[in-house]
Homo-oligomer: A and B are copies of this chain.
Amino acid sequence: MHIDLNRHSGITLTEQIRTAVADRIQSGLLQEGEKLPSVRNLSKLLDVSLMTVFHAYELLEQEGLIDRIQGKGSFILGKSTRFKNRPNQKEAEKPSMDWQNTVADYLPRAQYWRMMQSPLVDVAKLSMAALHSSLIPTEWITKQFFLHAQLDHSLLTEYGPVQGDSKLRDAVLPYFREKNIVAGPNEIMILNGSQQGIDLVASTFVGPGDVVVLEEPAYPCTIDVLRRRGATIFTIPIDEEGMQVDHLAALCDTRPPKLIYTNPTFQNPTGTVMSARRRAQLLELAQSYNAIILEDDATSDLYFGSAPPPPAIKSMDRHGHVIYLKGISKFISPGCRIGFLIADGTFMTRLVSSKGISDLGSPLITQKAILPFFTSNQLQKHLPVLREKLKERRNLVLQILNRMAPKGVRWTKPDGGLNIWMTLPHAMNADDLHTFALQEGISFLPGHVCFPAQQQYHHLRLSFSYLDIHTLESSLITLCRLLQGFTQSDRHSERIMHI
Given A97-B319, A100-B347, A207-B106, decide whether A362 and B337 contact each other with a Cβ distance below 8 A: yes
Determine if A136 is an interface residue (Cβ-Cβ < 8 Å). Answer: yes
Give the CA-CA distance A155 to B93 in the complex, in Å.
32
Given A106-B205, A318-B96, decide whether A157 and B333 contact each other with a Cβ distance below 8 A: yes
- B-chain residues with CB within 8 Å of residue A83 when the two chains form the complex: none
- B-chain residues with CB within 8 Å of residue A155 when the two chains form the complex: 335
Query: How far in angstroms is the closest Cβ of chain B from A299?
Result: 16
Report how many residues on chain A are interfacial, defined by Cβ distance under 8 Å: 97
Query: How far in angstroms is the closest Cβ of chain B from A202?
Result: 9
The answer on a CB contact under 8 Å between A136 and B156 is yes
- B-chain residues with CB within 8 Å of residue A334 when the two chains form the complex: 156-159
Determine if A85 is an interface residue (Cβ-Cβ < 8 Å). Answer: no
- B-chain residues with CB within 8 Å of residue A358 when the two chains form the complex: 195-196, 199, 225, 358
Query: How far in angstroms is the closest Cβ of chain B from A195?
Result: 5
Flag the segment in A70-78, A109-117, A409-417 that touches B: A109-117
Give the CA-CA distance A357 to B369 in the complex, in Å.
25
Determine if A233 is an interface residue (Cβ-Cβ < 8 Å). Answer: no
The answer on a CB contact under 8 Å between B353 and A319 is no
The answer on a CB contact under 8 Å between A153 and B139 is yes
Give the CA-CA distance A359 to B114 in the complex, in Å.
14
Determine if A346 is an interface residue (Cβ-Cβ < 8 Å). Answer: yes
Chain A residues 334 to 379 lying within 8 A of chain B, measured CB to CB, are 334-338, 344-347, 349-350, 352-354, 356-366, 369
The answer on a CB contact under 8 Å between B157 and A29 is no
Chain A residues 224 to 276 lying within 8 A of chain B, measured CB to CB, are 224-225, 228, 258
The answer on a CB contact under 8 Å between A142 and B153 is yes
Give the CA-CA distance A128 to B334 in the complex, in Å.
31
- B-chain residues with CB within 8 Å of residue A99 when the two chains form the complex: 290, 319-320
- B-chain residues with CB within 8 Å of residue A333 when the two chains form the complex: 156-157
The answer on a CB contact under 8 Å between B162 and A113 is yes
The answer on a CB contact under 8 Å between B345 and A93 is yes
- B-chain residues with CB within 8 Å of residue A204 when the two chains form the complex: 105-107
The answer on a CB contact under 8 Å between A354 and B157 is no
Determine if A484 is an interface residue (Cβ-Cβ < 8 Å). Answer: no
Given A29-B350, A110-B353, A354-B228, decide whether A363 and B366 contact each other with a Cβ distance below 8 A: yes
Query: How far in angstroms is the closest Cβ of chain B from A451?
Result: 17
Which of A130, A161, A357 has the most B CB atoms < 10 Å from its CB? A357
Determine if A62 is an interface residue (Cβ-Cβ < 8 Å). Answer: no
Give the CA-CA distance A352 to B364 in the complex, in Å.
24
Given A130-B159, A159-B335, A346-B93, decide whether A224 and B357 contact each other with a Cβ distance below 8 A: yes
Give the CA-CA distance A195 to B99 in the complex, in Å.
26
Give the CA-CA distance A349 to B357 in the complex, in Å.
23
The answer on a CB contact under 8 Å between A2 and B154 is no
Determine if A121 is an interface residue (Cβ-Cβ < 8 Å). Answer: no
Give the CA-CA distance A279 to B225 in the complex, in Å.
35
- B-chain residues with CB within 8 Å of residue A89 when the two chains form the complex: 346, 349
Determine if A380 is an interface residue (Cβ-Cβ < 8 Å). Answer: no
- B-chain residues with CB within 8 Å of residue A363 when the two chains form the complex: 192, 335-338, 363, 366
Give the CA-CA distance A101 to B345 in the complex, in Å.
10
Which of A101, A110, A133, A318 has the most B CB atoms < 10 Å from its CB? A110
Given A113-B162, A205-B105, decide whether A359 and B196 contact each other with a Cβ distance below 8 A: yes
The answer on a CB contact under 8 Å between A292 and B130 is no
- B-chain residues with CB within 8 Å of residue A346 when the two chains form the complex: 89, 93, 97, 100-101
The answer on a CB contact under 8 Å between A192 and B362 is yes
The answer on a CB contact under 8 Å between B350 and A105 is yes
Query: How far in angstroms is the closest Cβ of chain B from A443?
Result: 14
- B-chain residues with CB within 8 Å of residue A336 when the two chains form the complex: 156, 363, 365
Query: How far in angstroms is the closest Cβ of chain B from A364?
Result: 4
Determine if A16 is an interface residue (Cβ-Cβ < 8 Å). Answer: no
Determine if A306 is an interface residue (Cβ-Cβ < 8 Å). Answer: no
Determine if A203 is an interface residue (Cβ-Cβ < 8 Å). Answer: yes
Which 3 residue pairs of A and B lie closest in terms of their CB atoms, listed nearest first? Answer: A113-B356, A110-B353, A97-B345
Report which A residues bind B (CB closer than 8 A): 2, 27-29, 89, 93-94, 96-97, 99-107, 110, 112-114, 116-117, 128, 130-133, 136, 138-139, 141-142, 145-146, 149-150, 153-162, 192-193, 195-196, 199, 203-208, 221, 224-225, 228, 258, 290, 292, 318-320, 329, 333-338, 344-347, 349-350, 352-354, 356-366, 369
Supplied contacts A94-B345, A97-B319, 16 more A-B pairs, CB within 8 Å: A93-B346, A94-B320, A105-B205, A105-B350, A107-B204, A107-B357, A110-B354, A113-B357, A116-B162, A116-B356, A136-B157, A158-B334, A159-B334, A159-B335, A203-B203, A337-B360
